[in-house]
Structure 1
């Protein structure tokens, strides 16, 4: 969990310092006060580009060319503490330090698991498969941080293969080397995803929850012998100018189990509830498997739930012992939490955002 979070020149925050005690955190204030920016900063303490998928040069406060920095103090299982910094100079790439030593981003996933749900994901079940694959990979990385490296290795080899295809290169040696890399990384990706889905489904069984449990499945992940399929499909792929088989074509399929219908056909509220159910199941499984509950980032989640489900969500978060960062426009949205959460009001004055505990 986070015990301190400091932002410097990050998004709308010139400087913000929050002392945290492990309880859920309810952040409220008017639109534009910088609530989501705090959640995005926490998401940057995990591998990848964060909940907005922004590049390093997009995160600095504007106007200004000072770069940005996020500093966090973490308490992990066993009471061990770590200091994490991630930052970028103007025009530079993102860097990560753990206890003062430079590390790869994947190291962050081994220190703290971070899951999120943001309003942009509300249409996840009815939009293109790409978003669902990204969602699934984020869930999978929480169980297996090395999954990020497998995905990067696969995508790098696939980009090179696609370049050869577009350039009409026919050298089988070049293709063979790249296809072997894709086959190895692809097998790991499929195995990681399948294991994550199985664990999430198991965590849903018997759980007392107000949110409907979805049946989840992975489709279109490609043939078992991907290397052979890629070799056989070179002519077809060359005509298309891209690779047409593999885990990059997979899709996460969800059904509303209680109503025996595809999630895409459920109501808007039910689709949101199914998403929350998946996130809670993931958190439950991680807490059981690692002994350290993940950090949850729930942007504007309270505003989209009725009072009953809102209270149920808060109860489940507290029962799981997760440190959840939640945002809303007013304190009344978090009334059911009472003293179980830290309440932080963000307000704007003279161009400065002030945190009120």
Structure 2
């Protein structure tokens, strides 16, 4: 299955846009600010989460939430069966509430993960290895979600329980042990599931990356600092035993919200943060490609690549297209000109984007 008939209504600078006849490769070409990345962002909302920009929902509406927005797509089936209709939207009366429909019926955002394994790479991610641990956790969680849609539910419930526990720890009134017990049960249950999902994801990714050559993309080695116990019972005990210390700190100091993804360049045995900008980009591409290939084996895979080809030399660009061609994922790419995509031009669907309008080329 693959996405087709993608529609954007009142989404950022797209008043009424439709993209028909999508292929394995799909190119969006236009000047900076034309609205290419906006199309990718809209597609990213057909998966659980906040989209590739992590923007607030009212910001995505062309009128800043006053009228809401809508994004839809058909998920075509290879056997010729009836397409699955996916859609997400907001309404004027509730601009911060995201709603989802699957085949016309109300559904949860988490359920979108049952239909598509979505991944992306944007210029904002280029400094991932220099960024905060939180940014790397979000990157890892996005990859885990593509393998297991329930990962989003565990993340949401863990964050909710964490906020409640931190609120109690910061309160000057005496702690209620029974109330803390109940919160910590939830925190341990969903925290352990969160950690185990991340570890499982890194396990299959590491296996795939082990067989990659050092060139043309640098081979990364992945490791995970869990931030605390990964077993439910052990995490619950650590939370209970740490109450006094964490009351003094006013926040929870143990759990997967303290975790980090560690990446090392195999050829130099050097932490990614100490590598050159080009080496960091090459490792990031290697991780994203390996993940896309693995994720597309379970559910239809969609990979969104914003301005990735223009920053690669011809050798690496050709290698990128070869990997994408064999990945099994549907690929959407953006660029300011067609020249970098010469190798895939004949097999791709191409649209010119200008001022929020899209024209098939």
Structure 1 residue 107 corresponds to structure 2 residue 111? yes
User: For 2:296, what is the secondary structure of its paired residue?
Assistant: helix
Q: Which one of the candidate residues 264, 281, 291 is aligned to 2:290?
A: 281
The alpha carbon displacement at 1:287 in A equals: 2.9
Count of aligned residue pairs for this structure pair: 352
TM-score by length of 2: 0.93
**Distance across 1 between alignment mates of 2:328 and 2:189:** 37
Greater shift in the superposed pair: 96-105 or 258-267: 258-267
Q: 1:271-329 deviations in whole A, cap 9, x for unaligned?
A: 011111111111121233x1x45100011111221121112111111122321111111
In structure 1, the residue matched to 2:73 is: 72
Alpha-carbon shift at residue 48 of structure 1 (Å) = 0.9
Q: Deviations over 1:316-349 (max 9, x none)?
A: 111223211111111112112121211211123x
1:309 matched to which residue of 2? 316
Task: Point out where structure 2 has 5 or more consecutive residues left out of the alignment.
Answer: none
Q: Distance in 1 between matches of 2:205 and 2:300?
A: 14
Could you say what secondary structure the match of 1:254 adopts? strand
Does the alignment pair 1:156 with 2:163?
no
Residue 78 of structure 1 deviates from its aligned partner by 5.7
Q: 2:199 aligns with which of 186, 194, 199?
A: 194
Match of 1:185 in 2: 190
Q: SS where residue 94 of structure 1 aligns?
A: strand
Contact 1:294–1:322 (Cα < 8 Å) also in 2: yes
In 1, Cα distance between equivalents of 2:54 and 2:341: 28
Q: Counterpart of 1:137 in 2: which secondary structure? A: helix
Q: Shift of the alpha carbon at 1:240?
A: 1.2
Distance 1:79 1:245, change over 3 A: farther
User: Matched residues in 2 for 1:177 and 1:236: separation?
Assistant: 19
Whether 1:94 and 2:103 are equivalent positions in the alignment is: no
CA RMSD of aligned residues (A): 1.6
Structure 1 ranges of 4+ moved more than 4 A: 76-80
1:268 corresponds in structure 2 to: 277
Shift of 1:64: 7.9
Q: Is the Cα contact below 8 Å between 1:215 and 1:255 reproduced in 2? A: yes
Tell me, yes or no, if the aligned pair for 2:307 and 2:334 is still in contact at 8 Å.
yes
Aligned residue in 2 for 1:258: 267
Could you state the TM-score of these two structures normalised by the residue count of structure 1?
0.94
Residue in structure 1 matching 2:87, options 81, 85, 88: 85
Select between 208-217 and 338-347 the one with higher mean Cα deviation: 208-217
5+ residue gaps in structure 1? none
1 CA distance for matches of 2:105 and 2:115? 14
> Deviation digits for residues 187-219 of structure 1, max 9, x if unmatched?
111111111001111222334673222110110
Q: How many Å separate the matches in 2 of 1:287 and 1:164?
A: 43
Name the counterpart of 1:324: 331
SS in 2 for 1:20: coil
Residue 101 of structure 2 aligns to a residue in which SS? strand
Match of 2:243 among 222, 234, 240: 234
- Note the 1:325-344 alignment, pairs <5 A: 325-344=332-351
